[in-house]
Amino acid sequence: MSQFDRRKFLITGAAILGASAVAGGVGWWYRARHMPSTAMEPGAHAAGEFPNPLRLPGSSGVLGVLDVSAPVTIVAKSVQHAIYERKSAPLLVYEVEQDGNYWLNPVLRMRSGATFRARLSNALDESTIIHWHGLKVDGKNDAHPSFAIAAGATYDYEFQVPNRAGTYWYHPHPHKLTSKQAYLGLASLFIVEDGEALALQKALDLKLGVTDIPIVIQDKKFDDQGRLVYAPSDEEKVNGYVGDTVLVNLTPRPYFNAATRLYRFRILNGSNARTYRLAFTRGGFQLVYAVIGADGGLLDRSYHTKEAFLAPGERLDVLLDLSGASVGDAVMLQSLAFDPMHAEGSMAGMAMGAGAKDQKGEAPSPHAGMAMGGEPSGAQTPHGAMLADGAAIDLMRINVTSKMAYEPRVPAVLSTLPPVKAADARPREFLLDLKDGRWRINGETFEMKETPVTVQRGAKEIWEIRNDKASMPHPMHLHGVPFRVLARSGSPQQVAPGVVNEQGLTATDLGWKDTVLLWPGETVRLAVDFSHPYPGDQVYLFHCHNLEHEDQGMMINIKVQA
């Protein structure tokens, strides 16, 4: 290990290294329907090149920050946008116009306890609805697919934001159209702030869009004209649809110029089906970083790790400390190679997973795709080539370009989390499996009006979810009701490097959660609290956030009775 890695990236005392993921470039201004891009054409980059500035959320435009203090109208529509230079192509977006400014897929920001009022106007040519992923709201505002509106119709939302500070998000949820609409562009973040969040911002001198960077990671497929391609085969509907290019805040091959200070990165896996094994590397060495938050906001303290799996729908809030770096240094945000475990234990899996394993049947090396010298070699594949699930991917290059005096003092206590009180009752059991080409939950597939699970309002339950051995990974998402992960068992060996406690949990499992990843043969135990203030029965969804699985019916209704 070089002196750089030993001295400047070692966490000691309050100097914490953190994980960063990609955000946007400079706050792009949107006025017209055609928005330029500086991104190179598909396949035009050389291995290891990162020519495109990270798109940073500004005060308007693409992924601009919108402080919601009054009712807003959100228009779901198709616009022309050039993700690659000179290749303007259709993109589905959420557009907001206010006081002469335009936002596309705005990062919505609100204070906890404030009232959110919005009207969804559907300018698409098919039905849609918005789901506020991770927000604890009533069934009508949660937007069950039964509430989907037709083309040309509107839908009104009004709710008091009940959640603690955290990085939540929003995306479409019409039945059998969710995967396509999200893939073609409809998704963004919903940031909630409270006193604890503001205290941390002050302590670390953080500013949203400057040193506190929201990040959305999505993999896509493009044709030669720069148009997004969504055409899953029958096999891809079973496995999930993965792309040949990974975008970070709609930016391919991005770089981020940083100073010698600490940065916060709020990372969302917004992909349809691809899981990422996030690590920061330099010279082929993995760096330690700090995880300070997950799906439902800040953790009680920071947790150090060298890697973390992040499944579709999950969020990870991390700190990267560059205060000991020198101008000219560079760090790579990567997804390390891993075994995707598709259809594990089945005859089909032996064929489907073969591309992700070597001739010995072993998962690729964590450093697959790195050059002989240990530097990342640009593992992103050229346009049109297959980027296998589980492949090593260079996501973003962080360049240290300026020197500043900064001494990070991360608080020893970040937040207060109530202790988990496990119920004495027998756990409610769920089995995830595959039959006749369809993924199921307890033998059920989705029926709009059926409620196979009923619970009482105020109930505190233990859920035990088991993924069949002859299966694949499933990120399971529960609408409207946050939970805590109690334990993992039967985990594959590749999870072990990220485990942080005796219960087998990884940093991604800590704190309040709304989505949890289950590997084949694995069992997780959850503590679920069905307390809420809403009158009447509420119906929420429990489903796989591999969106192809969801659309094919790996989803059930949960009725919370008053």
The string of pLDDT tens digits covering residues 457-513 is 999 999 999 999 999 999 999 999 999 999 999 999 999 999 999 999 999 999 999
Mean pLDDT score, 195-214: 95
Residue 347 has what pLDDT?
A: 42
Which residue is it, tokens 């659309």? Answer: 551
Yes or no: say if 117 and 108 are a contact pair by the CB < 8 Å rule. Answer: no
Residue 367 has what pLDDT?
A: 32
Mean pLDDT score, 439-444: 98
Residue 419 has what pLDDT?
A: 85
Continuous segment of H or E residues that includes residue 191: strand 188-193
Is the pLDDT higher at 190 or at 224?
190
Beta strand pairing status for 188-193 and 107-111? Answer: parallel
Which residue is it, tokens 């370009």? Answer: 401
Which residue is it, tokens 């290990």? Answer: 1
20/507 Cα distance (integer angstroms): 15
Query: Beta partners for 433?
Result: 440
Continuous segment of H or E residues that includes residue 181: helix 178-183
Residue 388 has what pLDDT?
A: 93
Whether residue 525 has pLDDT greater than 60 = yes
Residue 349 has what pLDDT?
A: 43
**Phi, psi (deg, nearest 5) at residue 142:** -65, -25
From the list 55, 19, 456, 478, the residue with the least C-alpha distance to 254 is 55
Quote the tokens at residue 148: 């989907």
433/423 Cα distance (integer angstroms): 26
376/397 Cα distance (integer angstroms): 10
Mean pLDDT score, 40-68: 81
Whether residue 235 has pLDDT greater than 90 = yes
Is the pLDDT higher at 75 or at 356?
75
106/187 Cα distance (integer angstroms): 9
Percent of residues, the chain, with pLDDT higher than 70: 84
Whether residue 43 has pLDDT greater than 70 = no
Q: What domains appear along the chain, each with residue ranges and CATH number? A: 3-7+216-402 (2.60.40.420), 30-193 (2.60.40.420), 428-561 (2.60.40.420)
Residue 85 has what pLDDT?
A: 80
Mean pLDDT score, 105-134: 98
Cα three-residue angle 10-248-251, rounded to 5 degrees: 125
Q: Is 306 left (phi over 0), alpha (psi -120 to 50) or beta?
A: alpha
Residue 266 has what pLDDT?
A: 97
Residue 516 has what pLDDT?
A: 98
Provide the 3-class DSSP secondary structure of residue 398.
strand
422/427 Cα distance (integer angstroms): 10
Which residue is it, tokens 């335009």? Answer: 102
How far the first Cα of the chain sits from its last, in Å, is 60
Residue 344 has what pLDDT?
A: 75
Q: For all residues of the chain together, what is the average pLDDT?
A: 86
Whether residue 358 has pLDDT greater than 50 = no
Is the pLDDT higher at 64 or at 349?
64
Residue 426 has what pLDDT?
A: 85
* pLDDT tier for residue 47 given thresholds of 50, 70 and 90: low
Query: Beta partners for 101?
Result: 98
Residue 357 has what pLDDT?
A: 40
Cα three-residue angle 301-302-305, rounded to 5 degrees: 145
DSSP code per residue over 109-131: EEETTPEEEEEEEE-SSS-B-EE
Whether residue 548 has pLDDT greater than 90 = yes
